[in-house]
Amino acid sequence: MPLESKPLVTPVRVAVALVAIIALSVGGWWWASRGDEIATLRGHTGVVRAVAFSPDGQQLASAADDGTVRLWDVAARRQVRTWDAHTGKVRAVVFDPAGKWLASAGSDGKVKVWAPDADTPLATWDASPKAVECLAVSSDGAYLAAAGVDKKVYVWSVKERAAVRALAGHVHHVHGLCFSGDGKRLASGSEDGTIHIWDWQASATVKVLSTGKRHVHGLFRSADGKELVACVGGSGLQLWDWATLAPRDAHFQQAGLAMAGAVTPDGRTFVTVHEDLAVRFWDQSGGEQLKTFRGHRELPLCVAVRPDGKSVATGAVDSTVKLWATPAR
């Protein structure tokens, strides 16, 4: 009886070969298809604490404990620039609304302003005697706010390149900052379970909001600018009306501790990252969970939505930056 012939390439070998083809390491980036995951960007050697898209969506900045800020070409999924930005950990990064510069902040207490195509900073602001953990930029790009370990909130004029305000009121570290849409108010959220609303130009507290003793890990505003959103434990998200500062009903079921959040440009979807390693997409109006993605091997700490709303970026303790496709609505 003749021996049965066997295929030279088995299905398992085909699958392995396909994975080998799909997983490529070129020029400081690593891409692997996971279906819901568009890409994994590798290059950092420490915890990734902040990500931010440029206003045109073509570039992504990431900041990490390795002391660097890295700039990525989003379409090509490759690293295009690395700044040895700070002494110690880099904790925050933001783009200005016009895309002309980005700012980074670190455990050295400094805030540095960078042009995307330059090797050296445009300006350095000695913001705080202790670590700066969060940044915010006003909608017109005229002011930067910084806060962190020393509990104070600082405001800096971009044009004058000078500090203009130092606001005191919190009793623990500040982890979140957010300007109102018109730039007249500034919100700061802290480990002390409060959010201070400042008339920062008058150095006055408008109101102190309570999160029920839950730490505030991040702040952002809704796409229309009408709501202030806090990332906290328990429900994961708490909302207030920016105009009246009245709390909004929020029913985000099984959200758990939210480390950071963002909103899609159409305002319909909130995106959050959580202590259970999940990236969650929520219906903004009703709190329904639309989709949950998983891929980070360790705690995700930050999230940003691309300006076209089609994808989001997350950064994590596992030193990676991941790009995810926004679920269709």
Q: In what order do the strands lie in the sheet with 102-106?
A: 90-95, 102-106, 110-114, 123-126
Overall pTM surpassing 0.75 (yes/no): yes
Q: In what order do the strands lie in the sheet with 37-41?
A: 24-26, 29-31, 37-41, 321-325, 311-316, 300-305
pLDDT, residue 249, reads 83
pLDDT, residue 14, reads 36
Right CATH for 29-325 from 2.130.10.10, 1.10.3720.10, 2.40.50.140, 3.40.366.10: 2.130.10.10
pLDDT along the chain (329 residues), means of 10: 36 37 38 67 97 98 98 96 96 97 97 96 97 97 98 97 97 97 96 97 96 93 95 87 92 82 96 94 89 95 97 98 94
Q: Return the beta strands (E) in 86-150 as ranges.
A: 90-95, 102-106, 110-114, 123-126, 132-137, 143-148
pLDDT, residue 235, reads 72
- What string of H, E and C letters represents the secondary structure of 39-56? EEECCCCCCEEEEEECCC
Contacts of 133 (CB under 8 A, 6+ apart): 91, 92, 105, 147, 148, 149, 173, 174, 175
pLDDT, residue 19, reads 37
Cβ pair 93, 62 in contact under 8 A = yes
pLDDT, residue 256, reads 81
